[in-house]
Chain A
């Protein structure tokens, strides 16, 4: 009796094995995979609106926090900007457009910005959204007790930095901070200097308001789905950590009529391969996590979408180790950016011609069109310059973090630099250790390091201030007082065109004809994504990697 049951088990197991083996045979035939997925999903949208306005997205990662004060990453920011109502949103050209603030005024000297709020903003519990909510929220974010990472976003406001760094008599410093609700719908902000980008900056999720009674009642737990009170076009319905975040349309939102989607189911799938499989199986409609090695295949499908990002991938050079500018120029010239993009990075990134990325307002004026960054490299000129370098550093330690993709790029650059007679040792470290090593100041052993920079807000100052002497993000040891003076001057220049001119001078100092080349920019980022054809027309990511879900519509499949 027992043995016959055993036999049955064995039979089941063997059948399972046979199925797995059958799967193995099929996987050799890559084309077959594409065909099946293509027939499943290529149906192009028919134009009419689908009856069911519901989508399932992969958020990409677990948001570390949904508290606007504490969130410091794009996933959190993206969800927040859809469940909360910002004062201003960014328009198609990244210009500020009214949202909860119906208008704003900047004083003559540029140091006072007054937002006029709409009077029909509502929290999900029915309370009106008033200017006081913003005053409370901003001061809360700056408070030393909250210890927010992004408190520095507010340092441009009078008294914010002092309050954030205070050790005693903090209440007095809080009251001195330059943000004030004049009445229910008027919010006045006093800035330390004229900051023409401040209104755009207010579109960042750090500047969202929180609901005071809820925050005070639930403390750190106020962001859980059962506690949270929000004021945006969508409401947080479910947050199962590391698994699901579902948001539904907020029917009581002031402009609910303009929102088509009724529900966005959100999965959290961090693994790229899993996410692609979930997309192919039809479990999700949007997937932003594409593994580099699969991009060439996915690119051929109609669901592939690609957006320009406001970010720069670059190598920083420790100028105390590689002292001769000719060597740094030669190293930059030797890099074939086009080849790296086409064969290694593979997501149609843009080859750099300066540090500040394309898409930034004023790009045409400020871009230096660097002679040291030709798209296809210039090995001949590089060799000539290298020959001119005094005390060249022949053995170079290149430091990378161990995320996927960086090593492959480094190997390509290693090969290019070898032709200049340089021996490159690639050293990879895991992220936290890597950050400790590059400082600033960088560890003495570091000659070149890899990093990226993604803009928080849309003004080139956000990129160019990195290379000032005291910048916490400048690990190159590059320090030029005239550069710092120009940055200060730009900060005080309110006129856009005049400021872009100054940014142009800064770019020249970095990568222009006489530029010092403390950094070797490689490419400007793109964001890649899989999007179901039924939403592809309306699902858009802006330069800051944000998706405005109020604009998304599900079309009928034809």
Chain B
């Protein structure tokens, strides 16, 4: 196991170098001047000053080397557009908010999605099953921005229950965004758990467990649920990554000062250093989320452990 983890960690280095290179090349390939933010043309003198200041007047390989050096020393450089801020500041200030939103939504999805799936499977083809699956179908199909808008309309404008329309400070302000972002993954978990549970319930070893006279509750938790969770864990890694990195729309709608908004605006304004910095950060997150999933696999299913060491 340790060998496996170490090998995976070593592999992240070339992966990140490649990510930097690809982002670097792609950002240079799309046209656009990071310093021209409005329709106003920039006089030649000022353009030169800016390029000199941000070292964009050097050859591309020097820029790339400088950047890699920066990443290695955890210095992601200054933003080209937000002139008083470094990418490090942006990450330090805004990433925790996205992380919190992602984690809360994930928790919401997990805590509600799995029991919902379990219930549906145990009462398969009952009104309960149909009801919960209808609910999760809707949750899965309706895009998060629509859910968000509806939640704000109902809970902030129609019913005066104390949830503000936007912001990210009090706990009340965190409820609606968490639900809006977590509803889709929740529905996904529920469907996944239901499907695999139904399959597991048909297995011989379940019949054996029942025949042995084990308590039904114990059979469900120990045998059925544990074996049904493997696909959920597989899906959970990418979903967690997505929740942390892909919450741009929700951050925009609820005016949450998270990192997702910076990512999107940085691409449109050609803020090279912010795009690069955030891409590296998000790649690291996805790599680690997958690594954790692989480790969890080993715990849940010893067979996979042996195959990899």
Question: For residue B217, which residues in chain A have a CB less than 8 angstroms away from its CB?
Answer: 1-2
A118 to chain B, nearest CB (A): 29
On whether the beta carbons of B36 and A435 are closer than 8 Å, the reply is yes
On whether the beta carbons of B255 and A270 are closer than 8 Å, the reply is yes
A425, CB-defined interface residue at 8 Å:
no
B114 to chain A, nearest CB (A): 10
Report Cα–Cα, A222/B86, bound state, in Å: 13
Interface 1/0 per residue, A443-464 and B, CB below 8 Å: 0000000011100000000000
B66, CB-defined interface residue at 8 Å:
no
Residues in A143-160 with C-beta less than 8 Å from chain B: 144-149, 151-152, 155
B interface, over-half SS: helix
On whether the beta carbons of A278 and B166 are closer than 8 Å, the reply is yes
On whether the beta carbons of B46 and A241 are closer than 8 Å, the reply is no
Question: For residue B135, which residues in chain A have a CB less than 8 angstroms away from its CB?
Answer: 13-14, 17
Q: Which of B151-159, B195-203, B233-241, B282-290 contacts A (4 or more CB under 8 A)?
A: B151-159
Residues in A120-168 with C-beta less than 8 Å from chain B: 144-149, 151-152, 155, 161, 164-165
Q: Which of B33, B82, B159, B257 contacts A240 (CB 8 A)?
A: B257
Question: For residue A27, which residues in chain B have a CB less than 8 angstroms away from its CB?
Answer: 150, 153
On whether the beta carbons of A9 and B116 are closer than 8 Å, the reply is yes
Question: For residue A242, which residues in chain B have a CB less than 8 angstroms away from its CB?
Answer: 94, 257, 261-262
B73, CB-defined interface residue at 8 Å:
no
Question: For residue B122, which residues in chain A have a CB less than 8 angstroms away from its CB?
Answer: 3
Q: How many inter-chain contacts with C-beta < 8 Å in the A-B complex?
A: 202
On whether the beta carbons of B46 and A13 are closer than 8 Å, the reply is no
On whether the beta carbons of B154 and A22 are closer than 8 Å, the reply is yes
A109, CB-defined interface residue at 8 Å:
no
Q: Which of A147, A437, A473 contacts B50 (CB 8 A)?
A: A147
Report Cα–Cα, A23/B256, bound state, in Å: 24
Q: Which of A67-75, A194-202, A206-214, A410-418 contacts B (4 or more CB under 8 A)?
A: A67-75
A269 to chain B, nearest CB (A): 4
B70, CB-defined interface residue at 8 Å:
no
Closest to B53 in A: A147
Q: Which of B43, B52, B157, B256 contacts A280 (CB 8 A)?
A: B157
On whether the beta carbons of A273 and B149 are closer than 8 Å, the reply is yes
B178 to chain A, nearest CB (A): 13
Residues in A35-73 with C-beta less than 8 Å from chain B: 36-37, 62, 64-67, 70, 72-73
Q: Which of B84, B158, B254, B257 contacts A220 (CB 8 A)?
A: B84
Report Cα–Cα, A396/B261, bound state, in Å: 36
Q: Which of B34, B43, B83, B165 contacts A274 (CB 8 A)?
A: B165
Closest to B97 in A: A243
Residues in B134-193 with C-beta less than 8 Å from chain A: 135, 138, 147, 149-159, 164-169, 179
A156 to chain B, nearest CB (A): 13
On whether the beta carbons of A433 and B30 are closer than 8 Å, the reply is yes
Which of B86, B157, B254 has the most CB atoms of chain A within a 10 A radius of its CB? B157
Q: Which of B46, B221, B255, B269 contacts A267 (CB 8 A)?
A: B255
Residues in B3-62 with C-beta less than 8 Å from chain A: 30-46, 48-50, 52-53
B37 to chain A, nearest CB (A): 7
Report Cα–Cα, A269/B153, bound state, in Å: 17
On whether the beta carbons of A72 and B37 are closer than 8 Å, the reply is yes
Question: For residue B119, which residues in chain A have a CB less than 8 angstroms away from its CB?
Answer: 3, 6-7, 10
B115, CB-defined interface residue at 8 Å:
yes
A108, CB-defined interface residue at 8 Å:
no
B304, CB-defined interface residue at 8 Å:
no
A26, CB-defined interface residue at 8 Å:
yes
On whether the beta carbons of B132 and A10 are closer than 8 Å, the reply is yes
Question: For residue A222, which residues in chain B have a CB less than 8 angstroms away from its CB?
Answer: 84
Closest to B132 in A: A10
Question: For residue B46, which residues in chain A have a CB less than 8 angstroms away from its CB?
Answer: 147-149, 151-152, 164
Question: For residue B147, which residues in chain A have a CB less than 8 angstroms away from its CB?
Answer: 20
Interface 1/0 per residue, A343-354 and B, CB below 8 Å: 000000000000
Report Cα–Cα, A147/B81, bound state, in Å: 12
A31, CB-defined interface residue at 8 Å:
no
Question: For residue A3, which residues in chain B have a CB less than 8 angstroms away from its CB?
Answer: 119, 122
Question: For residue A387, which residues in chain B have a CB less than 8 angstroms away from its CB?
Answer: none
Report Cα–Cα, A281/B157, bound state, in Å: 6
Question: For residue B82, which residues in chain A have a CB less than 8 angstroms away from its CB?
Answer: 62, 64-65
On whether the beta carbons of A6 and B52 are closer than 8 Å, the reply is no
A313 to chain B, nearest CB (A): 11
Question: For residue B165, which residues in chain A have a CB less than 8 angstroms away from its CB?
Answer: 274, 277-278, 281, 283
Given contacts A164-B46, A277-B165, whether A6 and B38 have CB atoms under 8 Å apart is no
Given contacts A73-B38, A281-B156, whether A66 and B150 have CB atoms under 8 Å apart is no
B103, CB-defined interface residue at 8 Å:
no
Given contacts A151-B46, A280-B157, A432-B32, whether A274 and B166 have CB atoms under 8 Å apart is yes
Known: A242-B257, A440-B41. 15 other contacts (CB 8 A): A2-B217, A13-B132, A26-B158, A147-B53, A224-B84, A241-B90, A270-B255, A274-B253, A430-B268, A431-B268, A432-B34, A433-B32, A451-B39, A472-B41, A472-B43
| Residues of chain A at the chain B interface (Cβ within 8 Å) | 1-3, 5-7, 9-10, 13-14, 16-17, 19-20, 22-24, 26-27, 33, 36-37, 62, 64-67, 70, 72-73, 144-149, 151-152, 155, 161, 164-165, 220-224, 240-243, 267-271, 273-275, 277-278, 280-281, 283, 430-433, 435-437, 440, 451-453, 471-473
Instruction: Give 22 A-B contacts (CB < 8 Å), ordered by A residue.
Output: A2-B220, A10-B128, A13-B116, A23-B150, A37-B157, A65-B83, A146-B49, A147-B50, A147-B53, A148-B46, A149-B42, A220-B85, A220-B86, A240-B257, A241-B257, A267-B255, A268-B257, A278-B255, A281-B164, A432-B34, A452-B39, A472-B41
Q: Which 7 A-B pairs have the closest CB atoms?
A: A472-B41, A432-B32, A23-B154, A165-B45, A242-B257, A147-B49, A243-B257
